[in-house]
Structure 1
Amino acid sequence: MPLHVGSLTEGVQVGTVPSWLTVATGGVLVGASFLFTSLLTDHEGIRAVNAWHAVVPTTATLRGGVVAATRALGVLGLVLVVAASALGPMEPTSNFAILVVWVGWWAGFAMSTYLVGNAWPILNPWRTLAAALPGDGARSLPERYGAWPSVVGLLALVYVEVVSPLASDPRLLGVVVVAYSAVTLGGAGRYGDEWFERVDPVSRVFRVYGRLAPIQSTASGLDVRLPGTALVAGATDDGDRERVRGHEAETGAEAGAVAFVVALLWATTFDGLVTTPAWNDLAPVVVEAGVPAAVVYLAALLGGFALFRAAYRLAAERSRARVDSRLSPLAIERWFAPALVPIAAGYHVAHFLGYALSLSPALTGVLAHPLGGAGVPQIAQLPAWFGTVELGFVVVGHLLAVWVAHAVALEVFPGLLRPIRSQYPFVVVMVAYTMTSAWVVGQPFVSPAYL
């Protein structure tokens, strides 16, 4: 029986708001926010908001010291995770590896990448080790692969996390970490930084999330911006504008980049979906009919991704038709893909914040005693109203997505009405995404018990 990540809290979280109300509220708020933003047609004013930033300069000495310390911390953390997975206690809420990987890293650190800034390029222990190992990394990945290896990698990681007891078995987690390390270091030794740019799904997840953050790292220091405005800047700079207009939008090194953002959105949704009572009622029926449970999960993972991808692609095609644009649907997909990132981040924080807060006392204990001896693990009890806070993060993410889409549309399509009309199909898809996410968040958490 696999234990999903959330099952570490050993509880059933019951929402305080009826499911139908959370779903309806989320959809209505996103629709209303679009109506409001459609009234904002001052191009220069919107550009000024998105362009605002303040640079915090840093000295080379300071940057060098912070980078060295961060890299050392990342490598030390990896070593301790592997050691604790083999030598630490088997109780998941007392094991350093389990708590650091799932609570400290995948929940806490991941949230920091979009709420604060992306430090993963420096903290990444595999990148640090790869730079120190022999191998020139001179080979290049075929350009036709684009970002698709990272799409496959992300879906594979989510599948393994859901169908195996990675969240409860420290020994298995250690095996997976060692195997991932071997593949990553081997790939980086062969392809260099290109491996982390185009293949490694973890690096791409944090890079995508990092574009939403208010702090961006630049050569001159830290660039402080309003949350989400870096997404608009990245989608509408001159170089990217020319690239997405052409054939390179889906055939060059960034082929599959849109699919990755969709996969990131679906992966977090799927991670929560499999803990809902509805799924726990449906899955056993299918399994009892003779379909292997592993196949059921794989079909749901791939089918849901295909559905999310098809919905977004249809929105791009309808957007093009509504404004009679000469841009290809693929180019329009590429333009508006950044608007999906706040949705993915909003659902991620809604899905993991309560989990991280609940297990933060246990995490604090194992940080002081990595190989055991931390005593009885403590799990914090969250108030009943916390479910409403989680729903709020989903809605905030979608509202920010509407702003990003509106700002991008004003840059892509000339005039006053064409940018607004171009967003209609995307708003419909966003409302559907919102209602799906709100429904999942509003469901009680149930530990899977059917594999």
Structure 2
Amino acid sequence: MSDGQYLAHGIGGAKDLPISPELAIAGAVAALTVSFTVLALAWRKPRYDAATSGRPAPAFLERVVDATAFRVVLRVLGMAVFLYGAYAAVLGQDLLTNPVFGMFYVWWWVGLVPLSLLLGPVWKAISPVRTINLLFARVSGGDPDQGVFTYPERLGVWPAAIGLYAFVWIELVYPFSTELGPVRLWVATYVAVMLLGGALFGNTFYERADPFEVYSSLVAKLSPWGRRDGRLLVRSPLANLDSVTVRPGLVAVVAVLFGSTAFDSFKESTPWVKFIQSSDVSVQLLNNLAMLSFVVGVGLIFAVGTMATGVGPGTDRRTLPNQFAHSVVPIIVGYIVAHYLTYLVQVGQQTLIQASDPLSKGQDLLGTGDWGVNYWLSYHPTLLANTKVLAVVIGHVVGVVAAHDRAIRLLPKRHQLTGQLPLLLAMVAFTVGGLYLLFAA
């Protein structure tokens, strides 16, 4: 597989292999069947409670994870990778073989998902901007948790949603996404905004405004690792998902994550390619409008689905979308796994090989320069197709269960079943639409 095959998505094509119509239909039917089964037969009392769920992690594991030395090692590792990438970005050549592109689009963006699923909120632990802010605080004698101002609660995670949109825009829409200058400018702007925000609002800014920390922490809610009162917990992913903090802008975050991934499939579909080729309107304008429409459309469909239900006394319908937004996270993760699996595995390997020669001068600094990419996944199309459909359907099932548990806690008894139908239909639409786009691409 040549490098040229990867040029459609940042530095590469995100799609794996087209799935068969039979698999897409089977997945859609399974999603529908399981959804209504859960709705009809599942429990009638809430099972997940962030305040009580989970059990303490083994004492030795908690000691290791909470040890200062362990945390320092993680910060040094994150900082080392960041500085190595900066070295390649500043001194390296503007070629697709520059590892910066793979580090930016593959390791950073897609790689955060499996790492967060397995290990918890990884970006919070290794974030170089947190590390730099910590060093500044130590030098000045300040407290990295405290800023000059208190972070406004009304902002919630809206800044993170804007930052995520800025990333997917340069990745999927910007016509010069494979040039070194724009990538350098994007990262420099990100670092500058994060450091300024950390100085003004302390570490709270990173928890709510750093797009990668919010992204990683949301995905980490599907891991078995959690925290309560400072203690490390082991709990089921569904119980962990229930602990997502409800803040303004949470729907916007999930809409950007899901809508942009769906758009990435859509822009490679035959109908869209034919349309932009026959249109007199600028391709960039059309792609901008299409991605914005996908993101806004996902947000509106979800908001309408959650608000179109009976509510109890004292419940504001406008708060329901953010209350249920956590249930979209499993669908997002399932679709990302389905959409980016071979992209991560194969282009991720290629990036590691290229990283050994950051300046494109024939160096082999990491000893990986003579490695080859293993294309085993691409050589097993049936396994890939089944994995795609299974990931989307499992994500849908987990999302439906999470929404059901939250609904029977929030909705009055007379609306606990019928009140879930609009949201259920919205989630089924997301899943069926995602399967269709995987097939269409």
Equivalence for 1:33: 34
1:268 to 261, 281, 288: 261
Matched, 1:208 2:235: no
Correspondences of 1:44-123 after superposition (within 5 Å): 46-47=47-48, 51-57=53-59, 58-59=62-63, 63-88=67-92, 90-92=94-96, 94-123=97-126
Q: Work out the CA distance in 2 between the residues paired with 1:331 and 1:85.
A: 43
State the Cα deviation string for residues 274-301 of structure 1 (Å, max 9, x = none). Answer: 2323322222333x2xx33332222112
| Aligned-CA RMSD value | 3.1
Identity of aligned residues (%): 23
Q: Quick one: which amino acid aligns to residue 387 of structure 1?
A: A
- Aligned residue pairs total 417
Equivalence for 2:366: none
Q: Work out the CA distance in 2 between the residues paired with 1:40 and 1:131.
A: 50
Matched, 1:333 2:321: yes
Equivalence for 1:285: 278
Cα distance, 1:13–1:262 mapped onto 2, change above 3 Å = closer
Cα distance, 1:42–1:48 mapped onto 2, change above 3 Å = farther
Correspondences of 1:181-220 after superposition (within 5 Å): 181-218=191-228
Q: Work out the CA distance in 2 between the residues paired with 1:23 and 1:392.
A: 10
Tell me the CA shift for residue 403 of structure 1. 0.8
Unaligned runs of 5+ in 2: 364-368
2:235 to 213, 216, 225: 225
Equivalence for 1:447: none
Q: Work out the CA distance in 2 between the residues paired with 1:305 and 1:262.
A: 5
Question: Secondary structure in 2 aligned to 1:132?
Answer: helix
Question: Secondary structure in 1 aligned to 2:109?
Answer: helix
Tell me the CA shift for residue 76 of structure 1. 1.0
State the Cα deviation string for residues 40-69 of structure 1 (Å, max 9, x = none). Answer: 454569459993545233227862111101
Equivalence for 1:295: 285
> Would you say the 8 A contact 1:14–1:443 is kept in 2?
no
Correspondences of 1:298-317 after superposition (within 5 Å): 298-317=288-307
> Would you say the 8 A contact 1:113–1:213 is kept in 2?
yes
> Would you say the 8 A contact 1:3–1:166 is kept in 2?
no
Equivalence for 1:249: none
> Would you say the 8 A contact 1:149–1:198 is kept in 2?
yes
Matched, 1:319 2:309: yes
> Would you say the 8 A contact 2:15–2:340 is kept in 1?
no
2:394 to 388, 393, 396: 396
Question: Secondary structure in 2 aligned to 1:38?
Answer: helix
Cα distance, 1:83–1:267 mapped onto 2, change above 3 Å = same
TM (normalized to structure 2)? Answer: 0.84
Equivalence for 1:130: 133
Q: Work out the CA distance in 1 between the residues paired with 2:92 and 2:322.
A: 46
Cα distance, 1:392–1:357 mapped onto 2, change above 3 Å = same
Equivalence for 1:436: 433
Q: Work out the CA distance in 1 between the residues paired with 2:430 and 2:436.
A: 10
1:426 to 407, 423, 426: 423
Matched, 1:380 2:368: no
Tell me the CA shift for residue 218 of structure 1. 4.9
Cα distance, 1:163–1:259 mapped onto 2, change above 3 Å = closer
Unaligned runs of 5+ in 1: 241-253, 445-451
Correspondences of 1:16-31 after superposition (within 5 Å): 16-18=19-21, 21-31=22-32
Q: Quick one: which amino acid aligns to residue 406 of structure 1?
A: H
Cα distance, 1:95–1:217 mapped onto 2, change above 3 Å = farther
Q: Which moved more, 1:27-36 or 1:376-385?
A: 376-385
> Would you say the 8 A contact 2:225–2:240 is kept in 1?
no
Question: Secondary structure in 2 aligned to 1:51?
Answer: coil
